Amino acid sequence: MPTNATVMPGRSNRTAVMDGIGRLHIEERPVPQPGDRELLVEVRSVGVCGSDVHFFEHGPRLNVFKPPHVLGHEVSGVVAAHGPRATRPPIGTRVAIEPSRPCGICSLCRGGRYNLCPQMRYLAAPPTEGGFARYLTVPEDFAYPVPAQISDDAAALIEPLSVVVHAARCAEIGVGARVLVSGAGPIGLLMTQVARAIGAIEVNVSDINPFRLSLAETMGATRVIDVSAATPSAVRLEVDVFIECSGNPVALPDGIRCVRPGGVAAVVGMIPTEDATIPLAFMQTREIRLVPTFRFANSYAAAIGLVATRAVRPEAIITGHLPLDRVETALRAGRNDPRSVKTMITAQA
Amino acid sequence: MPTNATVMPGRSNRTAVMDGIGRLHIEERPVPQPGDRELLVEVRSVGVCGSDVHFFEHGPRLNVFKPPHVLGHEVSGVVAAHGPRATRPPIGTRVAIEPSRPCGICSLCRGGRYNLCPQMRYLAAPPTEGGFARYLTVPEDFAYPVPAQISDDAAALIEPLSVVVHAARCAEIGVGARVLVSGAGPIGLLMTQVARAIGAIEVNVSDINPFRLSLAETMGATRVIDVSAATPSAVRLEVDVFIECSGNPVALPDGIRCVRPGGVAAVVGMIPTEDATIPLAFMQTREIRLVPTFRFANSYAAAIGLVATRAVRPEAIITGHLPLDRVETALRAGRNDPRSVKTMITAQA
Amino acid sequence: MPTNATVMPGRSNRTAVMDGIGRLHIEERPVPQPGDRELLVEVRSVGVCGSDVHFFEHGPRLNVFKPPHVLGHEVSGVVAAHGPRATRPPIGTRVAIEPSRPCGICSLCRGGRYNLCPQMRYLAAPPTEGGFARYLTVPEDFAYPVPAQISDDAAALIEPLSVVVHAARCAEIGVGARVLVSGAGPIGLLMTQVARAIGAIEVNVSDINPFRLSLAETMGATRVIDVSAATPSAVRLEVDVFIECSGNPVALPDGIRCVRPGGVAAVVGMIPTEDATIPLAFMQTREIRLVPTFRFANSYAAAIGLVATRAVRPEAIITGHLPLDRVETALRAGRNDPRSVKTMITAQA
Amino acid sequence: MPTNATVMPGRSNRTAVMDGIGRLHIEERPVPQPGDRELLVEVRSVGVCGSDVHFFEHGPRLNVFKPPHVLGHEVSGVVAAHGPRATRPPIGTRVAIEPSRPCGICSLCRGGRYNLCPQMRYLAAPPTEGGFARYLTVPEDFAYPVPAQISDDAAALIEPLSVVVHAARCAEIGVGARVLVSGAGPIGLLMTQVARAIGAIEVNVSDINPFRLSLAETMGATRVIDVSAATPSAVRLEVDVFIECSGNPVALPDGIRCVRPGGVAAVVGMIPTEDATIPLAFMQTREIRLVPTFRFANSYAAAIGLVATRAVRPEAIITGHLPLDRVETALRAGRNDPRSVKTMITAQA
């Protein structure tokens, strides 16, 4: 087995380490060894996700938190070394990294829904550490080469874009669909773009933040609804598909009341509570289905293709860049700055 | 136009007329004239549905109640006369009557989901009167001939059986499915039979009524769960599909917690309230879909086929027969007698 | 009943009447009376379809031909009068006309697949006459208002665009799809546009006509394949979905060999023969499905939306305009001019 | 690494080895060592498949044949030993063996269609050897425990039953379906049973062999059609789903002509030629889809459940048993004896 020095002579793996709720420090770690069929990736760009912010402030939603921990799961980079038996992609290839490591053999994996694998290890979900670092090891099968026209930032944002592509598929947004997106954060804005890119003829976007609504307009929203004035149901909107992207429990029942008979209400935004209240009687006589979506499966190729063909421009949601040393500032930006949507960490800066 | 005397000389149309909440009387009405492309049907058997009982006690769920009104929408009969331009089925044919009269031209009708037609007129849903009577007019296209091996009672029960067939389709119960049915009333018991008839390999049925649970066992339930002892989630049941047939708001979240990742929770039972509480966080990480179903579309042929091939025996849920004069007794039976499941009205008796 | 004079005083209905195979004359007919729930439409624009050309040269594919007959089924116009009980759209509204008149009550109509209705009457399919005329009567439910940004020509082309939208749905072209379109005629070119508009990331178009291939490039084709040099399978293309739009029996097996395992081969182009040869052994081990599509159902709203949002530009396929008097010239253009793709008849000129 | 003696002291692995086209001998081989996460299985029962017969007579359809080779892929047995890191099922467990070894990481595997994996290794498909032997090693994840009510023979026949379950799913046989099965061999007879078990209300079976047709009747066929008298299309049969199980190229177009508009023609039987002729014009105007099916994915659990609940009785197709020494006789039986349907090899006899 090669030593660390063999892999990246003279380099250390600078890493932003969370050592408690709301606490983070920079640490020089040894460069990790890629294992069997793994790659060592030199990280280029890492997006800061709302779930990173939530984890930093409150700890993990689904797992027990045992510090130290590393956040960051929207990652692009360059293949720096091959572990044993790894064969592709070649060293030097720029890649978007899918954070999934499913078991591959349970009935959900075999059935094509590996995002639901009970044995899933997901980048930055404890105990798996994430990508706010200079180096990362990943299974070769989850590193996707990206063409030259996809920037490092865009390659990192293939992850949230895959969330959106998956949700669009689950919600069965089809050609000619009229859509309501609640919440114009990173997911809602990418959803707006994707909905238009796949043939939606009406994309209504609701939020309380005027800056985000104005961004939505630049991304193809056909109508924006400022819910501080009136909610979508109050303005009697009717859509085929409603996609909840805000995580706000009030947005869900309001949006459901905008869905036509036979339509779909998808839920992408993670709610802060265990339970939710829905207008079930309204849904019953209209057969409105509720479709929660979770992460994604089999979506990276499509997401990369959408960016490569310029059908979707993920950089449009970026509102700032910060170097690796300033991850903590980035994690706090989301709460404090109403004009911050998506901050990218430049890992080698 | 023929006069009444022409259609059924010497007959009157004895009808059970609801003249107020909880009030009903028997009336001799003129035999109705079938309109354009309509049939006059001599009613044979009419099932008493839980929704009839609810309407009798509380008024309609969805419409404004203006007495007088006639209940009864699970109807079989014999074709007694053809209206103008009606051509089929021949006079004398025994028929199961689909209570639907959709508009036929809206986008939902044209899209194959006529049960959601906003212009739907449905037997016994005001202002359309129902079938607790000796005669009824129906559009020729919604009267389905039944073969000799289907009894008059079974022909009437094609209606609730169609509710169940539709729900099974919407819930995507497939070969090899493990199913939980909550509520062993008429719908739950028919669902138990249908689930087995379409390849479910496990059908768990929950209720608080031991008599109904014992009935469920005779209809193919592989396990019954007395929720007065422990709920399905308390016994850690895991199923692919959960079908809520009780209308009990507590049964819904409990059953959802039994659904495997990627599974479906269908809702057939009408809840008594406008809103419902669901364990959304649990559903999100598992992508458990909530699928409300409403009445049925394109289900009569399949339901008739299941009975004709003896794959389903709807008579098995019948616990009593009463003549037309005793509709009120029948409507009160559901509340008072724990061993009453489905009462049939013998319309010509 | 109003007389003809009442409906359009002083007007006659100039009509291009086919009186034999390859024979056509212009005739002044009385303006037709709209029937129950019908509209009288003043025709604006009518597209010449390849099936019109085939019919003119060879007679109908599916029906017996009894002259006289009127061709033309890609029609836009303006509502000129309401028949009895017609209520919408208002007189003066510009409309795209769906040529379908299904029965509305058979199991296919009720199931949402009215394009397969055995009782279908379709504009210009004998005995139903078509739209190469100044006036036409249509059921109010099949006249779709179009917004100002849709031209008369584009409104007429909603018909072939609906063929394409329907085929895209049947072929399950989804986000990220790699597509092969064989045949860059009107259907293939619209398919190219639609595929891009609904998220395809690769659209390969094959033809033998260099002019048509160059048109395909302007419509979003990511690659064009001149089959006079090498067929798609010869260049080892691999796609998720193949859509045969040429009607050429050789194109079908060649394209099928380009489909990845688990993919779809859709057939839109009508083949000239009864039978076709397919590489079934190749398809079996790869589970490649063959999906023939026929006309469309429930596609007009989506097609109109795609044009209204400028996601698709149907005028881009138009290569010429001719007045009603010159329908015969237009019918002959397709055969003779390699640079003719779609000729529009200006009905009032 | 343990030696052979460690695994099964004193035993040898008697194996029926094919050493050329139409040539086979019995050989005493060493008991194989189970590899990483593999099991050693003591074989109990092995079904003789038509593809074994075809291979024995003509060599493999899809691969190059390099003798020696071992046939047999319908296998049940008992877990005899665990390889390194194998954890389940316990030694002594009776298991049905799924012959699949997909790569697990390609887009088809990850998408849930591992039967189409280009890297698939399948029991008895060269270079992978099969199960006409006393011992076999299999990956632990493809050995399915069977309950006591499933016999060794039935456990072996879970393999062809899975072919049928998969085909039924692909063909979308649903509740109320009218089905035509062409070919009453092992696959056709199991399909007959499965169709009835999943709610088909009409199962028509065609063959030229009167004995097989009489078997079909005992398995739930509602009608049998002796094609030596008249084909299904000649008797004007109409069905929703046609499933070709004969491999006879003539049966395919005939059956397609029996499918109603909007229905499905599935192809399970492997055709002997590369190409097939289909009535495409007929299919186009009716949108009849052609759905080839290949082996199966994610079907073993459902197939086991159908047998465990006695909804399907696979033993009903068995017409003979032979010991391992007489595999050659069994391989020749299919051709010579019109009353032979499925021969089982008793591996330890």
Phi then psi for residue A108, to 5 deg, are: -70, -45
Measured between CA atoms, how close is B139 to chain C, in angstroms?
A: 11
Tell me which chain C residues have a C-beta less than 8 angstroms from the C-beta of A199. 194, 197-199, 302, 306, 311
Q: Quick check: D123 and D153 in contact, CB under 8 A?
A: no
Closest CA to C50 of C335, C346, C338: C335
ipTM of the modeled complex: 0.96
Measured between CA atoms, how close is B262 to chain D, in angstroms?
A: 13
D272-276: long-range contacts at Cβ-Cβ below 8 A with a sequence spacing of 24 or more?
Answer: D272/D247, D273/C280, D273/C281, D273/D249, D274/C279, D274/C280, D274/C281, D274/C282, D275/C253, D275/C277, D275/C278, D275/C279, D275/C280, D275/C281, D276/C277, D276/C278, D276/C280, D276/D249, D276/D252
What pLDDT does C206 receive? 98
**Stronger pLDDT, B132 or B66, i.e. the higher one:** B132
In chain A, the residue whose alpha carbon lies closest to the alpha carbon of B289 is A291
pLDDT tens-place values along chain A, 349 residues long: 343 345 677 889 999 999 999 999 999 999 999 999 999 999 999 999 999 999 999 988 766 778 999 999 999 999 999 999 999 999 999 999 999 999 999 999 999 999 999 999 999 999 999 999 999 999 999 999 999 999 999 999 999 999 999 999 999 999 999 999 999 999 999 999 999 999 999 999 999 999 999 999 999 999 999 999 999 999 999 999 999 999 998 999 999 999 999 999 999 999 889 999 999 999 999 999 999 999 999 999 999 999 999 999 999 999 999 999 999 999 988 777 889 999 999 999 8
In chain D, the residue whose alpha carbon lies closest to the alpha carbon of A301 is D107
CA dihedral D272, D273, D279, D285 (to 10 degrees): 90
Measured between CA atoms, how close is A171 to chain C, in angstroms?
A: 13
Give the whole-angstrom CA distance, residue A61 versus residue C258: 46
Give the whole-angstrom CA distance, residue C58 versus residue B254: 66
What pLDDT does D9 receive? 74
User: Is C277 in the A-facing interface, judged by CB distances under 8 Å?
Assistant: no
In chain B, the residue whose alpha carbon lies closest to the alpha carbon of D240 is B302
Question: Among positive and negative, which fits the CA dihedral B129, B134, B136, B140?
Answer: positive
In chain B, the residue whose alpha carbon lies closest to the alpha carbon of A171 is B289
- Using DSSP bridges, classify how beta strands D239-244 and D259-267 pair: parallel, antiparallel or unpaired: parallel
Q: Quick check: D183 and D251 in contact, CB under 8 A?
A: yes
Measured between CA atoms, how close is B263 to chain A, in angstroms?
A: 11
User: Is D275 in the C-facing interface, judged by CB distances under 8 Å?
Assistant: yes
User: Is D301 in the A-facing interface, judged by CB distances under 8 Å?
Assistant: yes
Neighbours of chain B (3+ CB pairs under 8 A): A, C, D
Tens digit of pLDDT for each residue in B208-231? 999 999 999 999 999 999 999 999
Give the whole-angstrom CA distance, residue A100 versus residue A107: 17
Q: Quick check: D283 and A96 in contact, CB under 8 A?
A: no
pTM (global) more than 0.90: yes
Partner-chain residue, chosen from B197, B201, B202, that has the shortest CB–CB distance to D199:
B197
Measured between CA atoms, how close is B85 to chain D, in angstroms?
A: 27
Give the whole-angstrom CA distance, residue A299 versus residue D58: 43
CA C34 to chain centre: 25
Give the C window 180-239 contacts with D, CB below 8 Å: none
User: Is B303 in the D-facing interface, judged by CB distances under 8 Å?
Assistant: yes
In chain B, the residue whose alpha carbon lies closest to the alpha carbon of D165 is B175
**Three-state secondary structure string covering chain C:** CCCHHHHCCCCCEEEEEEEECCEEEEEEECCCCCCCCEEEEEEEEEECCHHHHHHHHHCCCCCCCCCCECCCCEEEEEEEEECCCCCCCCCCCEEEECCEECCCCCHHHHCCCHHHCCCCEECCCCCCCCCCECEEEEEHHHEEECCCCCCHHHHHCHHHHHHHHHHHHHCCCCCCCEEEEECCCHHHHHHHHHHHHCCCCEEEEEECCHHHHHHHHHCCCCEEEECCCCCCCCCCCCEEEEEECCCCCCHHHHHHCCEEEEEEEEECCCCCCCCEEECHHHHHHHCCEEEECCCCCCCHHHHHHHHHCCCCCHHHHEEEEEEHHHHHHHHHHHHHCCCCCEEEEECCC
**Complete DSSP assignment for B271-331:** PSSS-EEE-HHHHHHHT-EEEE--S-SS-HHHHHHHHHTTS--GGGGEEEEEEGGGHHHHH
Cβ contact, residue pair B280, A286, below 8 Å? no
Tens digit of pLDDT for each residue in C148-177? 999 999 999 999 999 999 999 999 999 999
Give the whole-angstrom CA distance, residue A301 versus residue A149: 15
In chain A, the residue whose alpha carbon lies closest to the alpha carbon of C299 is A176
Give the C window 131-170 contacts with A, CB below 8 Å: 165, 168-169
- Bridge partners (DSSP) of residue D39 are D82, D138
Give the whole-angstrom CA distance, residue A287 versus residue A256: 11
Measured between CA atoms, how close is C170 to chain B, in angstroms?
A: 14
Q: Which two tokens stand for residue C131?
A: 């739209």
Tell me which chain C residues have a C-beta less than 8 angstroms from the C-beta of D294. 284-287
Cβ contact, residue pair D112, A111, below 8 Å? yes
Q: Which two tokens stand for residue C183?
A: 């045949």
Tell me which chain B residues have a C-beta less than 8 angstroms from the C-beta of D174. 169, 198, 302
What pLDDT does D5 receive? 40
User: Is A279 in the B-facing interface, judged by CB distances under 8 Å?
Assistant: yes
Cβ contact, residue pair C298, B111, below 8 Å? yes
**pLDDT of B147 strictly over 50:** yes
User: Is B299 in the A-facing interface, judged by CB distances under 8 Å?
Assistant: no
Measured between CA atoms, how close is C202 to chain A, in angstroms?
A: 8
Q: How many CB pairs under 8 A join B and C?
A: 28
User: Is C3 in the D-facing interface, judged by CB distances under 8 Å?
Assistant: no
* b/e burial code for range C308-321 (CB count within 10 A of at least 16 → b): bbebbbbebbbbee
Partner-chain residue, chosen from C104, C111, C112, that has the shortest CB–CB distance to B105:
C104
Partner-chain residue, chosen from B277, B292, B293, that has the shortest CB–CB distance to A275:
B277
CA A119 to chain centre: 20
Neighbours of chain A (3+ CB pairs under 8 A): B, C, D
Q: Quick check: C42 and C91 in contact, CB under 8 A?
A: no
Cβ contact, residue pair C176, A305, below 8 Å? yes
Measured between CA atoms, how close is A20 to chain D, in angstroms?
A: 36
* pLDDT < 70: residue spans in chain C: 1-7, 62-63
What pLDDT does D138 receive? 97
Give the whole-angstrom CA distance, residue B244 versus residue B257: 12
| pLDDT (average), residues B280-305 | 98
What pLDDT does C246 receive? 97
Question: Among positive and negative, which fits the CA dihedral C100, C105, C108, C109?
Answer: positive
Measured between CA atoms, how close is A128 to chain D, in angstroms?
A: 21
What pLDDT does C295 receive? 98
Q: Which two tokens stand for residue C113?
A: 């697949």
Cβ contact, residue pair C292, D287, below 8 Å? yes
Partner-chain residue, chosen from C104, C110, C301, that has the shortest CB–CB distance to B112:
C110
Closest CA to A73 of A111, A54, A45: A45
Cβ contact, residue pair D302, B168, below 8 Å? no
In chain C, the residue whose alpha carbon lies closest to the alpha carbon of D261 is C116
Q: How many CA atoms lie within 13 A of A49 on its CB side?
A: 26
Neighbours of chain C (3+ CB pairs under 8 A): A, B, D
Measured between CA atoms, how close is B90 to chain C, in angstroms?
A: 18
User: Is B29 in the C-facing interface, judged by CB distances under 8 Å?
Assistant: no
One-letter amino acid of B343: T
What pLDDT does A6 receive? 52
Cβ contact, residue pair A279, B274, below 8 Å? yes
Cβ contact, residue pair A176, C305, below 8 Å? yes
In chain C, the residue whose alpha carbon lies closest to the alpha carbon of B110 is C112
**Three-state secondary structure string covering C93-123:** CEEEECCEECCCCCHHHHCCCHHHCCCCEEC
What structural domains and CATH numbers belong to chain B? 4-145+313-346 (3.90.180.10), 170-292 (3.40.50.720)
Partner-chain residue, chosen from D253, D278, D294, that has the shortest CB–CB distance to C285:
D294
One-letter amino acid of D188: G
* pLDDT < 50: residue spans in chain D: 1-5
Cβ contact, residue pair C303, A199, below 8 Å? no
Question: Among positive and negative, which fits the CA dihedral C210, C212, C213, C214?
Answer: positive
